[in-house]
Homo-oligomer: A and B are copies of this chain.
Amino acid sequence: MPMPSSVQAGSGSLAIDGNFSVALTGHSEARLDRASERFYRQLSRQTGLIFARRSAEASKATLVIHTDHANKTVQELGEDESYSLEVTSTGAKLNAATPLGTMRGLQTFLQLVDVSANGFAAPALLVTDQPRFPWRGLLIDSSRHFIPLEVIKRNLDGMEAVKLNVFHWHISDNQGFRAESKKLPKLHTLGSGGLYYSQGEIRELIEYARDRGIRVVPEFDMPGHSSSWMVGYPEIASTPGPFKIDEEWGVMDPAMDPTNEKTYKLLDTFIGEIAQLFPDHYFHIGGDEVNGKAWDANPRIQEFKKAHGYKSNEELQTYFSQRVQKLVTKHGKASIGWDEIFVPGAPKDVVIHSWRGPKSLAAAAKQGYQAILSNGYYIDLMWSAARHYAVEPLSGDAAALTPEQQRLVLGGEATMWSEYVDGENIDSRIWPRTAAIAERLWSPQSVTDVKSMYERLEVISQRLEWLALTHRSYYRLMLQRIAGPAAPEEFAALKTLTDVLEPVKDYTRWETMSAHPIASTPLNRIVDAVPPESDLGRRFDEAVNTFIEGRCRDASVAARLRTQLTKWRDNDAALQSLAMNSSFVKEVAPISQDLSAAANAGLAALDAIAKSTPLADDAKAQLAATLAAASKAKAQLLLMPAPSIRKLIDAAASGGACAEKL
């Protein structure tokens, strides 16, 4: 995962043991040597083997790599990432035009190696592969919560594993300015609360990313999302200071003053400095969500609008964007920004980053602008992998573009906004779902089978743990903290419940809270601990669907459903006992009762089906009411089996899906 563009199965397999070795031929560079080292180490981790590494001679090596020529000194958009990989029972050959292709191919090889009846082996096959889109990114917001450097690093390792190639670093926002500026030091000293990345650390991360074939695109959001700038430099604000770092989140009022030349002078200095620090050609200027209140409150800005004939704040922002884009150009970079920066007169090299959706993507492409998609890839919204997987960049209006226009759609980015994540749980919000998005962006458009995706997602999720990602291991640790020193059966009861809970979706968590402080809100509740997607909930739903599609005849599926429902029904006592000793568990005690009641209702439905007696209307209404109550979010959590059980009740009552049986 992601699925290569072409795979031909061969016969037999290549045994992998301690004698396995790699030879690099063709173009040589230190980055390839390091990639080879990393490959050995990774293969060692995932097999536990120790490699003697006696020979790196091409004639004797197990895996012979040929790289044709170098990449650009600074990785560019659209460089060749293709490779071919042939595995036979006697050896393997990896050929690529560039080191980027070689690195992609090595990841494919790693995914092929697995345990077999005779130790470790890779199946014989021939892969030829290249990405569908050249811009495949992950955004990490390290402003709302500061994300430690080593956490970002292990996520870059994860990105490499699934062939993503752009790390979009959302490094400043209202809640913190996280990059050291030597020319404007009040930005980070006053704007970060002490939590920022030094320029040395930033350079280190860029090197780390380059080693993995990943570009680093920095985003300094402006003119909104910029309170943290104004703490140190209130003179660029539209309203009088003093300012402080925003503790709450949401769309905030402060905005830079687009009518003040001081603003552009400061931005000129700043962009000049940052353009040196980040080698990538693209500079993300943000541009989103300016509510205009700060501009409306300033008479001088009102006069400026009048004098220039601007009828709306949007027009004023256009003016600002045009000025900033010129500064970016002046410093040798191209701008990328959110939908709002797509303004008349924008330089032809800007990239439109669509948070609004395919319509704006298509509109940009139609006018000859490049664009990438993030709408549909907001992984902070707690959607299922399947839902993200279904988001196709070339759909809707974009599907109707000419082939030439479609080529302007460069790809997309998963966006990890960090209001509700910190170093402890961020991995679980990124992985494994981002692997599904990575497949959407790399693999052929025809690769859409959801069942296959979930099977492969489970495998890659396990493998990502070898990269020290904590997206699976964090869960038990957080639950143990939540449970305290519980008896084993009480802890098991908690896990039985939380295994079928998911955080509420979209912005519901935000909407159901009256205040939204970030820095002072511990992320230690059950809503912070459960993964975005419940695997068990999904599998239960699949079993229910299978049962109903089979006209409720399959006794073995019925037995499995019954076992599961019985376990849920009987789970509540131990959980309530634990809830007496833990305020965190107490929060989900009502959901535990819901689960018990819902499971009981499901068993009643199975009983009715088993007796071939359709549920009476009043019985159905009663069970349906139980499920309706259980389907309501509580403690910002959703009880995932509720809708599935509801299907069983409908089946038991309607004589519909289970008509023949009933």
Contacts and interface: CB of A to CB of B under 8 A. Distances in A.
Interface of A: 18, 46-50, 52, 114-119, 424, 458-459, 462, 465-466, 473, 477-478, 480-485, 488, 519-524, 528, 539, 580-584, 586
Contact of A18 (B116, B522, B586): B522
A115 B582 contact: yes
Given A18-B520, A18-B522, A520-B18, A581 B115 contact: yes
A451 to B, nearest CB: 14
A260 to B, nearest CB: 36
Contacts of A466: 477
B524 A49 contact: yes
A469 to B, nearest CB: 12
Contact of A583 (B118, B481, B520, B580): B118
Contact of A522 (B49, B478, B485): B49
Copies in the complex: 2
Nearest to A528: B48
Contacts of A49: 522, 524
Nearest to A119: B583
B583 A48 contact: no
B47 A115 contact: no
A521 B50 CA distance: 7
A646 to B, nearest CB: 25
Contacts of A116: 484, 581-583
A585 B280 CA distance: 48
A523 B47 CA distance: 10
Nearest to A486: B115
Contacts of A473: 473
A519 B528 CA distance: 43
Contact of A482 (B115, B424, B520, B523): B115
A50 B523 CA distance: 9
A48 B586 contact: no
Given A48-B424, A52-B520, A114-B485, 12 more contacts: A18-B520, A47-B481, A48-B522, A114-B484, A115-B484, A115-B581, A115-B583, A115-B584, A116-B581, A118-B583, A459-B485, A466-B477
Contacts of A462: 480, 485
Given A117-B581, A483-B115, A524 B586 contact: no
19 contacts: A47-B522, A48-B424, A48-B524, A49-B522, A50-B520, A50-B521, A50-B522, A115-B482, A115-B483, A115-B584, A116-B583, A117-B586, A118-B583, A119-B583, A459-B485, A465-B480, A466-B477, A473-B473, A488-B539
A233 B528 CA distance: 59
Contacts of A50: 519-522
A-B CB proximity, top 10 nearest: A48-B524, A115-B484, A115-B582, A114-B484, A459-B485, A48-B522, A49-B522, A473-B473, A119-B583, A462-B480
Given A18-B520, A520-B52, A586-B117, A465 B477 contact: yes
Contacts of A582: 115-117
Contacts of A48: 424, 478, 481, 522-524, 528
A478 to B, nearest CB: 7
A122 to B, nearest CB: 12
Contacts of A118: 583
A420 to B, nearest CB: 13
A528 to B, nearest CB: 8
A51 to B, nearest CB: 10
Contacts of A586: 117
A539 B580 CA distance: 25
Contacts of A521: 50
Contacts of A465: 477, 480
Contacts of A458: 485
Contacts of A488: 539
Given A582-B115, A582-B117, A481 B46 contact: yes
A522 B115 CA distance: 14
Contacts of A52: 520
A477 B520 CA distance: 34
Nearest to A458: B485
Contacts of A18: 520, 522
A485 B520 CA distance: 42
Nearest to A466: B477
A519 B52 CA distance: 9
Contacts of A485: 114, 458-459, 462
Nearest to A459: B485
A586 B473 CA distance: 27
A46 B118 CA distance: 43
- Name the residue in A48, A523, A524 with the highest tally of chain B Cβ atoms < 10 Å from its Cβ: A48
A567 to B, nearest CB: 13
A117 B473 CA distance: 26
A115 B481 contact: yes
A18 B524 CA distance: 12
- Name the residue in A47, A52, A473, A482 with the highest tally of chain B Cβ atoms < 10 Å from its Cβ: A473
Contacts of A478: 48
A398 to B, nearest CB: 35
A550 to B, nearest CB: 20
Contacts of A459: 485
